[in-house]
Amino acid sequence: MNHPNLLNDADDRSPGAISCELALQLLAEQRNDRQIFVSNQMTARIWPTISRHPLDLNYLSSTMGGAIPLGLGLALARPDYEVIVLSGDGSLLMNLGCLATVVASRATNITIVVMDNGLYEVTGGQQTAGREANVNYALIAQATGFRYFESFDNIEQWRAFALSRWAVSGPRLISLRVHRVAVTTERFTATKVDVELRRLRKFLSKSRDDS
Amino acid sequence: MSQTAAVAPIWIFYTGTLFVITVQSAIAGVIRMGITHVVWIPDSVMGAWESELAKQPLQLIRICREGEAWPLAAGLYAGGARPLIMMQTTGLFESGDALRNVAYDLKVPVYAWIGVRNWLNPESPDSARKFAVPIVNAWQLDHVWIYADEDFATMHHHYLQCQASEKLGVALIAEGAG
């Protein structure tokens, strides 16, 4: 089902922000075969249009705030892979304590990319408390003990990071100030999440057997 | 005296019967299941097991709220690990949506031990006791009860059944005041 508010407001571009699709495109271009990507909510609708990879898990339907814990579980179970979680700011706000869980777990192979548009986008674009409070997610990550934390609101800065800084040890949190996205039904992932999860599990199991 | 023996067992009289859950049996149950990661926010019963759990060849993952537990365990399962969740019924109430998603959308057969506060105190006015079983039934959770050490064998059989049928399962730990 289309969301008329989103479609009508699709061209609304806040200044000093990054195109969500371009930001994700840069990630997809830089990925390697030792990286698991967990997309969620809005990114789970965009990521399958950019990437088709056996190490993708488009976590939709999800529980809001669940993507980071799920990614952490993957990271702890498979320290031989890097896990990149694509989270919305609304989802992170709903489960902010998970950042402490990540640090406490001592996982170093997890990166959280917060797509901060200040909105609950999938419900029609209502503003989050985080935008109203002008929350800086990178500084929260710093205070929590993340080894790498950075905010970007400029595509060139993000491009430079994506090209040069990916090897910095984790856990990492990267906050991207992004535009809202026009949602269309075509962007919804067609694969059921339980099928995707089992496919990922099988792939990871096979990779362990082969190594 | 060993460290294990220093942890007091839980002695509870309920309807004229003495129920005992010892840390030794609980830890033996975890080891027998082949658990690689315990994801937990303990209550006062399971909390007494912390020092013994920390000595085992598994990782104890301390979470901040119970809603993290279910997807975290699902991620561990996807990566090939064997997680066990430990929380109290109050945490089960809190984490309902995450449980729903993992059980019925992701369809991941994670297993949890859930402490039922005041279950062994029939006269308790504790609302956490009152709603424990109705909530377990509302989520249609396949479950068994642990009242005493000998029930860990039943729990283990249930765990294997749930794994074989790829169904989420829980063991309810009958507690006194938690």
Nearest to A73 among B76, B98, B100 (CB): B76
* Distance in angstroms (rounded) separating the CA atoms of residues B100 and A62: 10
So what's the pLDDT on residue B1?
36
So what's the pLDDT on residue A3?
35
User: For the segment A33-70, what is each residue's pLDDT rounded down to a tens digit?
Assistant: 999 999 998 899 899 999 999 999 999 989 999 999 99
The number of distinct structural domains making up chain A is 1
So what's the pLDDT on residue B152?
97
CB contact under 8 A, A76 and B59: yes
Q: What is the three-class DSSP state of A100?
A: helix
Instruction: Report the CATH number that the domain containing residue B127 is assigned in CATH.
Output: 3.40.50.970
Interface confidence (ipTM) of the complex: 0.91
User: For the segment B44-69, what is each residue's pLDDT rounded down to a tens digit?
Assistant: 899 999 999 999 999 999 999 999 99
Q: Is A167 exposed, middle or buried (0-12, 13-18, 19+ CB in 10 A)?
A: exposed
Structure tokens of B161?
Answer: 């059944």
Q: Best residue in A76, A84, A195 to probe B by mutation, most B CBs within 10 Å?
A: A76
Cβ(A70)–Cβ(A201) below 8 Å = no
What is the distance in angstroms between the Cα of A187 and the nearest Cα belonging to chain B?
20
A-B interface: how many C-beta pairs under 8 angstroms?
116
* A140 pLDDT higher than 90: yes
Residue A16 confidence class, pLDDT cut points 50, 70, 90: low
CB contact under 8 A, A101 and B77: no
State which residue of chain A sits closest to B104, comparing Cα positions: A194
Compare B9 and B163 and report the one with higher pLDDT. Answer: B163
Integer CA distances (angstroms), A56 to A198, B73, B165, in order: 12, 18, 26
Cβ(A203)–Cβ(A54) below 8 Å = yes
Structure tokens of B93?
Answer: 């109430």
Residue A30 confidence class, pLDDT cut points 50, 70, 90: confident
* A4 pLDDT higher than 50: no
Asked if the C-beta of B109 comes within 8 angstroms of chain A's C-beta atoms, the answer is no
**Nearest to A72, CA basis, from B75, B139, B142:** B75
CB contact under 8 A, B65 and A97: yes
Instruction: Report the CATH number that the domain containing residue A203 is assigned in CATH.
Output: 3.40.50.970
Cβ(A181)–Cβ(A120) below 8 Å = no
Q: What is the mean pLDDT of chain B?
A: 92
Residue A125 confidence class, pLDDT cut points 50, 70, 90: confident
* B12 pLDDT higher than 90: no
Asked if the C-beta of B37 comes within 8 angstroms of chain A's C-beta atoms, the answer is yes
State which residue of chain A sits closest to B65, comparing Cα positions: A97
What is the extent of the structural domain holding A154? 4-210
* Distance in angstroms (rounded) separating the CA atoms of residues B113 and B133: 14
* A32 pLDDT higher than 50: yes
CB contact under 8 A, B71 and A105: no
The number of distinct structural domains making up chain B is 1
Residues 6+ apart with CB under 8 A from A169: A108, A147, A148
What is the extent of the structural domain holding B17? 3-174
Cβ(B51)–Cβ(B7) below 8 Å = yes
